[in-house]
Structure 1
Amino acid sequence: MDELGVRAAALVGRRPRDARLRQVGTSRAGLPLWLLSVGHGSRQALVVAGPHANEPVGGATALRLAERLLADPRLCDGADVTWNLLLCVDPDGSRRNEGWLSGPYSLGHYFRNFFRPGFLEQPEWLPDGADGAQLPETRALLALQEELRPFFQCSLHGVDVGGGFVELTRDVPGLAPRLAHIAARLEIPLELGPYDTLYWPTLGPAVYRIPPPRRGDLVAAITEAAVESTWFHPHRYGTVTAVVEAPMWGVAAVADGSAPADADGVLRAVSRTLRRDTELLEGLLARIRPGLAAIPDVDRLLAPVDDYLLVCPGLADSWDPDTAPDTDADGGPRPLPPLNTARLAALRISGRRIALRTAGLLHQLVTGAGHDPSGAAADLDRLIDEWCADYHEGHEARWIPVARQVEYQARVVLAAFELVLRQAPAPLSGARPVGTPPVRAEVPFE
């Protein structure tokens, strides 16, 4: 977190006429929310980094974008656009992930140091509507959207294991082939059926339409992002929001659109595994819970654990062909869409992800307590090692270098921006056509 602010300030120091840095809010823990603005155009683009605490790529991408914007005036003043880069909207949660950010970049190290707040503490979600937003980070983002009324907004997310994809609040014709080209050049697998978009319309390979929010229970909100959000809040101003997901560990199978040999068999196995893992984790939580009272801020670590364990039984039932619903219920579970190999791989990865995140948070709770009379730490270490090995051996997950993650995400943002700009009203002043500058396939982050 400190590095983001220092590098942004250094950039402004080099180009004070073209870049500006201001504080637009304060986190619950008193950390500043920094907005880096580049250009002087009348139209506004907003890029939001760090909405999920365990997805740090967005901060680095924001800095990369700023450097690129300053190097090519066609992307700013030449297009009559000011870019506004919110360096991290959840600095408190991001600080809790700093235990793994410096490496080694192994799955075990990542999950043992993983943190992501409970659903109600994630700043992009508006389960009680914009007027009922409680988090200061959320209120700061909403105020920024009202101030800027951006024609284009990007939310920068990461995928710990899987592939890249884009979610849109409005269709952006031409994005899917651009995305495919960028991913192929940088050897990033694209998810042809991510769990996040399981029930959402497909606009093209790895490009999905975010449906308008609908009222439902908390489980539906957690599993489908079905509540109101800052993605849709500026929709009334004509804003196009693109959620750009970049993977850390890539899995080739998520890009396999072929028909599966035995979809029902895979679904039964995934559901059975999730039920078994949930029972193991519930038992471990029961063993360690009595000794957690003295841990500072224990509720923040327990909130996501409770969220995960809350949704697991319903997920297992909704994926299992023997228990899945035949018809959609308003606000409830719905039947699975047609499944290809990529979607099955995504479901397998998602079930394992929930278990690993829960195990990692429980591991932190045990180690934070300073004593382990129940002997749970050894069991959690064994499960984390076993489940990470499944990612490596069963899914062939491979680490994608940070520089390549950042380059991929920056290129996708610029591609979406160029296409959205073509749909936007003409600039107020004479502007040259916008274009994406040529870049190398991999540029070291500096």
Structure 2
Amino acid sequence: MQAADDIAGIVGPIDPISDFPTVDELNEFIDALAGEHPGRVSITQLGRSRGGDPIREVQVGSGPRHILVFGNPHPNEPIGMATIRHLLGRMVADDAATVGATWHFVPCVDPDGTRLNEGWFPGPHTRSGVARGFYRPPAAEQPEWCFPTLWRGRSVGVPLPETKAMMALIDRTRPALIASLHNAEFGGGFFYTCGGDPAYWSALTDRLSAADVPIHRGAPDAPGAHTLAPGVFELPQFVSMADLLTSQGLDAVAALGGGGCRDYTARYGTAILVCELPLWVDARIGDGSAGDRVLGDLLDATAADYHAMAEVAAAVLARVSDRLSGRSPFERSVRALVAGLPGLAVSRQSVPQRQRIATRGEIFVEQYDWTAMLRLRLGGMLLRLLEEECRHDAATALSAERDRFAAVFDQWCADVEQNAPGVAVPLERLVRIQAESILLAATRLRDGLPI
């Protein structure tokens, strides 16, 4: 197996990074790279986004194994775009960095959504600063979760143009590995895989420890994901997630959208690696000492918070419903999140071992990871919706509602900034974790080891 120092050597030095690349900046970088190295870099347009942006594939290397790397499948998660930029530069500079594979990078899967987040890319990278420029589409508009699949005799998943672009690339290359690059705002780091062994899993989480990023030790965000090792989970297929949600009385298709890349690539035996990293960390996340609350009571309080924030947002929407255009992506996202929060509340209350004492880390995560994260996401998008509509409609009722909710959102932000602002992880460390994790999987693939 490739030694840790060899992986680091392949990835090479990473200069300090102060901001995330925008869609246009990344395209300019790719075009310049292809222009300077026409024999080593090829660019293919796989399709266009719903907004007309090109979905581009950048190919480097010429080995028999095909590896796909997806950047920004969720547009609020731009670490992967910086990681792809670094890996492309490394592989063009040194063919050995391709480790004998043909690489296919899709630098930005969702350029439309990414452009709606670019306001916070330059910084300041604070939790409330990101929230004020935040956008995340509802499940049905997330390209990575719109792959077609079958569940209980019905077809689910309506592929978006961006999804169709990924499908075409997958069918053409029949990849041995897909690496999908993600990040959260706050918490610990973790990985999803569909296989591997203890040596692989510990080597992945060693990347987190080396970068001083805590390992996420709670439940994963994918329903029913099986824990392979601390900080490593098996990526579930749609069927198992949908069955679990349905057993909880929830609308699985509304919650999930459709299949993921694991569902679609099952026919090719493709290995999957998903890197989930936080922008901010807090030492309290890993506090395993006994807290002062029973877990069930803690989760019930979380569920109550979810219902309360949904009620706040729903009331705002109701008061301005006659002034909303219905065309805003922020409105679709806010309405979807409001509709989904009761189901998320059920999922929190479905956690087993409710009678035990919660750890201090679990108490902190429930309050300032899950609940605060959702408040900031919901509040940021709702405020952006109201501000957008005010620019097109000077109605007093609309501006008054904007000002009223802005005060509520200011309180949500102040709570987080006072009690859990987090410590920002240097962006170059996050890029290194993702780059080394991908190269770890690629070298194990080359050496015939399970991933």
- Tell me which interval the TM-score lies in, with the shorter structure as reference length: 0.7 to 0.9
For 1:191 and 1:17, locate their aligned partners in 2 and report how far apart those are by CA, in whole Å.
Answer: 42
The alpha-carbon deviation at position 227 of structure 1 amounts to 4.3
Deviations 1:398-421 (A, max 9, x none): 222322222222122222322333
Aligned partner of 1:41 in structure 2 is 63
Deviations 1:262-321 (A, max 9, x none): 22332233222222222212111212222112x7x32x222221221112123324434x
The alpha-carbon deviation at position 154 of structure 1 amounts to 0.4
The one-letter code sitting in structure 2 at the alignment partner of 1:244 is: C
Change (3 A) 1:124 1:343: farther
For 2:226 and 2:257, locate their aligned partners in 1 and report how far apart those are by CA, in whole Å.
Answer: 14
The one-letter code sitting in structure 2 at the alignment partner of 1:304 is: S
Whether the aligned pair in 1 keeps the contact of 2:147 and 2:264 (CA below 8 Å) is no
The alpha-carbon deviation at position 16 of structure 1 amounts to 2.4
Change (3 A) 1:28 1:115: same
Aligned partner of 1:363 in structure 2 is 383
For 2:78 and 2:342, locate their aligned partners in 1 and report how far apart those are by CA, in whole Å.
Answer: 30
Percent identity between matched residues is 32
Aligned partner of 1:319 in structure 2 is 348
Aligned partner of 1:250 in structure 2 is 281
Change (3 A) 1:284 1:235: same
Asked whether 1:107 is paired with 2:127, we answer: yes
Change (3 A) 1:232 1:256: farther
Whether the aligned pair in 2 keeps the contact of 1:193 and 1:254 (CA below 8 Å) is no
Q: Within 5 A, what are the aligned runs for 1:20-35? A: 20-35=42-57
Aligned partner of 2:6 in structure 1 is none
For 1:97 and 1:232, locate their aligned partners in 2 and report how far apart those are by CA, in whole Å.
Answer: 28
For 1:178 and 1:393, locate their aligned partners in 2 and report how far apart those are by CA, in whole Å.
Answer: 35
Asked whether 1:303 is paired with 2:347, we answer: no
For 2:111 and 2:437, locate their aligned partners in 1 and report how far apart those are by CA, in whole Å.
Answer: 24
The one of 275, 285, 293 aligned to 2:317 = 285
For 1:203 and 1:195, locate their aligned partners in 2 and report how far apart those are by CA, in whole Å.
Answer: 11
For 1:174 and 1:309, locate their aligned partners in 2 and report how far apart those are by CA, in whole Å.
Answer: 41
Change (3 A) 1:261 1:122: same
The alpha-carbon deviation at position 341 of structure 1 amounts to 5.2
For 2:222 and 2:180, locate their aligned partners in 1 and report how far apart those are by CA, in whole Å.
Answer: 16
The one of 398, 402, 409 aligned to 1:384 = 409
Deviations 1:341-374 (A, max 9, x none): 5555444322222222221111111111224525
Whether the aligned pair in 1 keeps the contact of 2:237 and 2:260 (CA below 8 Å) is no
**C-alpha RMSD of matched pairs (Å):** 2.6
Aligned partner of 1:429 in structure 2 is none
The one-letter code sitting in structure 1 at the alignment partner of 2:104 is: N
The one-letter code sitting in structure 2 at the alignment partner of 1:13 is: G
Point out where structure 1 has 5 or more consecutive residues left out of the alignment.
Answer: 325-333, 426-446
Deviations 1:36-88 (A, max 9, x none): 11111121000001110111111111111112223443332xx4311111011
The one-letter code sitting in structure 2 at the alignment partner of 1:285 is: L
The alpha-carbon deviation at position 396 of structure 1 amounts to 4.5
If the length of structure 2 is used for normalisation, what is the TM-score?
Answer: 0.82
Aligned partner of 1:4 in structure 2 is 26
For 1:342 and 1:363, locate their aligned partners in 2 and report how far apart those are by CA, in whole Å.
Answer: 31
Whether the aligned pair in 2 keeps the contact of 1:169 and 1:232 (CA below 8 Å) is no
Which stretch of structure 1 is more off in the superposition, 413-422 or 236-245?
Answer: 413-422
Which stretch of structure 1 is more off in the superposition, 20-29 or 145-154?
Answer: 20-29
Deviations 1:141-170 (A, max 9, x none): 001000011101101111112121111122
Aligned residues: 407
Aligned partner of 1:229 in structure 2 is 260
The alpha-carbon deviation at position 232 of structure 1 amounts to 2.8
Whether the aligned pair in 2 keeps the contact of 1:248 and 1:399 (CA below 8 Å) is yes
Asked whether 1:58 is paired with 2:87, we answer: no
For 2:353 and 2:73, locate their aligned partners in 1 and report how far apart those are by CA, in whole Å.
Answer: 28
Which stretch of structure 1 is more off in the superposition, 196-205 or 41-50?
Answer: 196-205
Which stretch of structure 1 is more off in the superposition, 264-273 or 23-32?
Answer: 264-273
Aligned partner of 2:92 in structure 1 is 70
Change (3 A) 1:138 1:197: closer
Whether the aligned pair in 2 keeps the contact of 1:244 and 1:409 (CA below 8 Å) is yes
Aligned partner of 1:327 in structure 2 is none
Question: What secondary structure is seen at the aligned counterpart in 2 of 1:20?
Answer: strand
For 2:430 and 2:211, locate their aligned partners in 1 and report how far apart those are by CA, in whole Å.
Answer: 9
Whether the aligned pair in 2 keeps the contact of 1:39 and 1:82 (CA below 8 Å) is yes
Change (3 A) 1:91 1:248: same
For 2:113 and 2:414, locate their aligned partners in 1 and report how far apart those are by CA, in whole Å.
Answer: 27
Asked whether 1:171 is paired with 2:202, we answer: no
For 1:69 and 1:255, locate their aligned partners in 2 and report how far apart those are by CA, in whole Å.
Answer: 36
Aligned partner of 1:151 in structure 2 is 176
For 1:149 and 1:36, locate their aligned partners in 2 and report how far apart those are by CA, in whole Å.
Answer: 16
Question: What secondary structure is seen at the aligned counterpart in 2 of 1:28?
Answer: coil
Aligned partner of 1:272 in structure 2 is 304
Aligned partner of 1:135 in structure 2 is 160
Asked whether 1:403 is paired with 2:428, we answer: yes
Q: Within 5 A, what are the aligned runs for 1:212-223? A: 212-214=237-239, 215=242, 219-221=251-253
Asked whether 1:393 is paired with 2:418, we answer: yes
Aligned partner of 1:118 in structure 2 is 138
For 1:103 and 1:258, locate their aligned partners in 2 and report how far apart those are by CA, in whole Å.
Answer: 35
If the length of structure 1 is used for normalisation, what is the TM-score?
Answer: 0.83
